[in-house]
Amino acid sequence: MAKQKHSARATAARVIADVVQKKQSLNAVLTVALPLLPDNERSLCQQLCYGVLRWHPQLNAISQQLLSKSLKEKDADIAALLLCGLYQLRDLRIPSHAAISETVNATKTLGKKWAKGLINASLRNYQRQQEEIDKKLQQSDSAHYAHPDWLIQSFKQDWPEQWQAILNAGNQQPPMMLRVNQQKESQQNYLTRLAEADIPATAITGCPEGILLDKPCDVYQLPGFTEGDASVQDGAAQQVASLLDLKSGLRILDACAAPGGKTCHILEHAPDNEVTALDIAANRLQQIQQNTDRLQLQATLIASDAADIDNWWDGQLFDRILIDAPCSGTGVIRRHPDIKLLRRADDIDSLDAQQKQLLNTLWPLLKPDGLLVYTTCSALKQENEHQIANFLHHHPEAQEIEASSAPANRRPFGYQRLPGDDNLDGFYYACLRHR
């Protein structure tokens, strides 16, 4: 195979094409592509990939107005490059002549010099007709709000008052948040250390270990990161551990644990707890291991489908079970904009079935009077309050209990934080006690 040439724009075009066409996850493709770029090109490439995918439904609607006919499937990279050009003109502080000429040059890097004229003419046409073209975006919700139609419909149905705010939150650039390791440091001390390192930050209200950075930075610039003094975690995810009513000496199952954010938070609360961390994705167990190693914590890691209990369970009941269930991720679109392209309407029924199976299979593994916490980073009722309502209907021995301090808005069952509420990720939480 011929060796590929690289530049921020050409690489971004290839990455975006892989997400759009091959339905690969942005994170997976970027992890391979970025190291092949010179250091000084990486940040622009990343910015283009996230930005274009974040605004894809809108940028795609613009490109359809600019192109007389759709590009062939084999030219998905050129289609993506055009979106990179549009994104630079609309959202980045790059002078437009440089944005256009560098985007045109990237056709050469992609080995498609024939597309030079097409990219050049399309971007210049956009500059000339921007007002008219942008006006037409109002005609479609998907183009206007930059989300897929099916998801806009679902949000409208579930949250008739809040759907626009949810969509708006999904288009924001996410803030970087930290969790201070309470075994080593207090929130207040760590804020002082950040200030000394010239990293402006504030405490997150309602998260005793949570810190919001004014601007994202490389984790290795964070004081004591390598030594495990802090970890990256959104404040909404930090509210899960305290729902487990943790104390010393508990036997705890974290059923869907990778990459281990909540496993580590649970252990930071009480390191002598016996935590079993399971995940179906064997390759993701490594990430849990790296996190527990860095934080100097101990958990038993098992690669298995949690619902296949014959494969992993030793027959002893648990005091606490956390099901941080596989879900649509519709609460964290600001962090994973590729969700807009990768998720489809019919995924929700299949996720619903997986969540049901995990709840039904793991519930009997809880000790009498034990506590099961069910969470998702979804904003859809089917995966959240409807899921728990259905579970309670079929399990009279289960009782939904109120958290001692509410992590989010109370719903008929559980608690829902909608995306962007308090500047945090969208999250659902429910606490179930075995009567």
Catalytic residue among 45, 84, 327, 377: 377
Question: Do 424 and 235 form a contact (C-beta atoms < 8 A)?
Answer: yes
Q: Which of 28, 195, 281, 406 binds ligand SAM (CB under 6 A)?
A: 281
Binding flag, residue 258, ligand SAM (CB under 6 A): yes
Long-range contacts of 73-78 (CB under 8 A, 24+ apart): 73/21, 75/112, 75/115, 76/17, 76/20, 76/21, 77/10, 77/13, 77/14, 77/17, 77/110, 77/112, 78/13, 78/107, 78/110, 78/112, 78/115, 78/118, 78/119
Of 224 and 326, nearer to ligand SAM (C-beta) is: 326
CA Rg value for the chain: 23
Binding flag, residue 284, ligand SAM (CB under 6 A): yes
Question: Do 256 and 323 form a contact (C-beta atoms < 8 A)?
Answer: yes
For the beta carbon of residue 314, count every other beta carbon within 10 angstroms: 7
Residue 45 annotated among the catalytic residues of the structure: no
Q: Which of 49, 86, 230, 306 binds ligand SAM (CB under 6 A)?
A: 306
What whole-number distance in Å separates Cα of residue 103 and Cα of residue 263? 44
Q: How far apart are CB 424 and ligand SAM at their closest, in Å?
A: 15
* Among 87-95, 118-126, 187-195, 304-312, the segment contacting ligand SAM (CB under 6 A): 304-312
Q: How far apart are CB 107 and ligand SAM at their closest, in Å?
A: 38
Q: How far apart are CB 307 and ligand SAM at their closest, in Å?
A: 5
* Among 71-79, 80-88, 165-173, 280-288, the segment contacting ligand SAM (CB under 6 A): 280-288
* Among 3-11, 193-201, 221-229, 258-266, the segment contacting ligand SAM (CB under 6 A): 258-266
Question: Do 256 and 325 form a contact (C-beta atoms < 8 A)?
Answer: yes
Q: How far apart are CB 326 and ligand SAM at their closest, in Å?
A: 4
- Reading across the β-sheet that carries 201-203, which strands appear in turn? 201-203, 210-213, 177-180, 230-232
What whole-number distance in Å separates Cα of residue 251 and Cα of residue 275? 6
Binding flag, residue 259, ligand SAM (CB under 6 A): yes
Binding flag, residue 278, ligand SAM (CB under 6 A): yes
Of 101 and 360, nearer to ligand SAM (C-beta) is: 360
- Biggest CA-to-CA distance, the chain: 71
Of 281 and 345, nearer to ligand SAM (C-beta) is: 281
Interaction with ligand SAM in 226-255: which residues (CB under 6 A)?
237, 255
What whole-number distance in Å separates Cα of residue 262 and Cα of residue 179? 11
Interaction with ligand SAM in 356-395: which residues (CB under 6 A)?
358
Nearest to 241 by CA among 224, 263, 260, 258: 263
# of chain residues touching ligand SAM (CB under 6 A): 20
Binding residues for ligand SAM, per CB under 6 A? Answer: 237, 255-262, 278-281, 284, 305-307, 324, 326, 358
Catalytic residue list: 377
